[in-house]
Amino acid sequence: MIKIKSIDAIEILDSRGVPSIHTSVVLNSGHKGDAMIPSGASTGKKEAFELRDNDERFDGKGTKKAIKNIKNLIQPALLGKSIEDQKELDQIMIDLDGTRQKKKIGANSILSVSLACTRAAANAMKLPLYDYIRILFDSKSNKSSTLSMPRPMLNIFNGGAHSNNKIDIQEFMIMPSDDVSFSEGLKKCVQVYSSLKRLLSSEGWSTNVGDEGGFAPNLDSNEEVIEYLIKAIKSANFSYGKDIFISLDCAASEFFDGKNYILNATDETFSSDGLIDYYVKLIKKFDIKSIEDPLHEDDWGGWIKLTRELSGVQIVGDDIFVTQRDLLKKGIDSRAGNAILIKPNQVGTLTESLDSIQIAKENGFNTIISHRSGETEDSFIADLAVGVDAKQIKAGAPSRSDRNSKYNRLLIIENELYPKK
């Protein structure tokens, strides 16, 4: 039996210069697994708890308390345990914390160990990480799944909490058609990204990038951003609506004031019904294929109505579901949305993330594996997307190594699965 020999963790920095955690799990076989944990800026209030130091270091955002919990609480509980039982390892940590949102030990502490254990097990078994994740996922459903490459969704224009401009919608993404390979689709999107940069620059706009690598000039409205994206697609010699599509992450909880939705860029105020009408017109005008978090996470009535009115459009729940199976089940039962965004740090363990993916698949919900705005060079989510056959992945713009590490890992995986002659 291959057992856990030691667990260590250190404080590192994410892509925003905010402290995060790097954890190493060493096995008695000599194999090792590492993991680095991301952090979000636009977060759902029901997400698992991220433990911070709240002292004078790093404006209170240090992770020394979380690291202490790894060394003094988690390590003693997992030493000598079999690395081959991911579910048991994760459950030990869940029980050790004992709170719904992992507020005692911290979801960042627990997740870093959970993912490091997964990597250590894959290394010990001499399997690619994505293949080991597939085995874990298949064991939950007693089915044999296939490995496939996801369709990338690239956030090439940043607004909302991911920028300093006045644009309210947080992410304007492009995605390729689903009839091309991952590498071909990524290449097309990179060409559009470059085209957008030239277009903005030629008109005197800043081409500095936001947290996720997308451009963030201070344009006047959501509609103007979409029009620029369509111009960039055509300028790159692609057909909009055939080669390249647009999707949105509205992050509407960020512009909800407790009663109404406030679009500051255009000085408009909407009720839930009014915002739904706005989206229906926007989506029909520009043929938007996917929309994420269009309404506040507690506006369940609005979600249900929008899902009913936008038949044929992918309506993705992030803040409303926060990768948690109970909230996902509520969404499925009430027909609120038809897709879920999967962010492992929203729930705190790989096992719980796989649970939500399984429930989504069993009920016809699409699954999209996602990065966070505060990322590291860790590419775990690339292997996760392939291992669970997620079909879609969000990892930001093709800029900044914290984003490209995911795309580069996917290019490597594609070459392993489908070697070029």
Give the CATH number, domain containing residue 31.
3.30.390.10
- Banded pLDDT at 129 (limits 50, 70, 90): very high
Q: Which residues pair with 27 in a beta bridge?
A: 4
Q: State which of 126, 161, 187 marks the end of a domain.
A: 126
* pLDDT, position 403: 95
Q: Residues 113, 121: contact at Cβ < 8 Å?
A: no
Share of the chain above pLDDT 70, in %: 99
Q: What is the largest CA-CA distance in the chain?
A: 63
CATH number at residue 329: 3.20.20.120
Q: Residues 282, 169: contact at Cβ < 8 Å?
A: no
Question: Does residue 211 sit within a domain?
Answer: yes
59 contacts: CB under 8 Å, gap ≥ 6: none
* pLDDT, position 42: 65
Same structural domain for residues 116 and 167?
no
Question: Does residue 155 sit within a domain?
Answer: yes
Same structural domain for residues 36 and 155?
no
* Mean of pLDDT values over 168-196: 97
Same structural domain for residues 311 and 372?
yes
User: Which member of 47, 50, 171, 212 is catalytic?
Assistant: 212
Q: Residues 53, 65: contact at Cβ < 8 Å?
A: yes
* Mean of pLDDT values over 275-302: 97
3-state SS track over 360-397: HHHCCCEEEEECCCECCCCCHHHHHHHHCCCEEEECCC
Q: Phi first, then psi: what are they for 298, rounded to 5°?
A: -105, 5
Same structural domain for residues 120 and 162?
no
* pLDDT, position 143: 74
Same structural domain for residues 75 and 216?
no
Taking only the tens place, the pLDDT of each residue in 17-26 is 999 999 999 9
Same structural domain for residues 50 and 171?
no
* pLDDT, position 383: 98
Same structural domain for residues 106 and 157?
no
Question: Does residue 142 sit within a domain?
Answer: no
Q: Which residues pair with 391 in a beta bridge?
A: 367
* pLDDT, position 161: 72
Q: Residues 172, 414: contact at Cβ < 8 Å?
A: no
Question: Does residue 145 sit within a domain?
Answer: no
Same structural domain for residues 48 and 185?
no
Terminal CA-CA length for the chain: 40
* Mean of pLDDT values over 277-285: 96
Cα dihedral sign, 196-198-204-207: positive
Same structural domain for residues 161 and 99?
no
- Banded pLDDT at 421 (limits 50, 70, 90): low
* Residue 254 among the catalytic residues: no
User: Which member of 61, 343, 361, 406 is catalytic?
Assistant: 343
Question: Does residue 68 sit within a domain?
Answer: yes
* pLDDT, position 102: 97
* pLDDT, position 144: 75
Question: Does residue 144 sit within a domain?
Answer: no
Give the structural domain span for 85: 4-126
Question: Does residue 205 sit within a domain?
Answer: yes
- Banded pLDDT at 120 (limits 50, 70, 90): very high
Average pLDDT, the chain: 95
Number of domains in the chain: 2
What angle is formed at CA 260 by the lines to CA 257 and CA 265, rounded to 5 degrees?
80
* Mean of pLDDT values over 286-294: 97
* pLDDT, position 145: 76
Same structural domain for residues 260 and 372?
yes
* Residue 32 among the catalytic residues: no
Same structural domain for residues 180 and 73?
no
Same structural domain for residues 187 and 76?
no
Q: State which of 80, 111, 126 marks the end of a domain.
A: 126
29 contacts: CB under 8 Å, gap ≥ 6: 2, 124
Q: Phi first, then psi: what are they for 73, rounded to 5°?
A: -115, -50
CA 158, chain centre distance (Å): 15
* pLDDT, position 387: 97
Q: Which of 36-50, 62-76, 168-182 has the lowest mean pLDDT?
A: 36-50
Confidence check: pLDDT of 162 > 70: no
* pLDDT, position 363: 97
Q: State which of 126, 141, 167 marks the end of a domain.
A: 126
Question: Does residue 302 sit within a domain?
Answer: yes
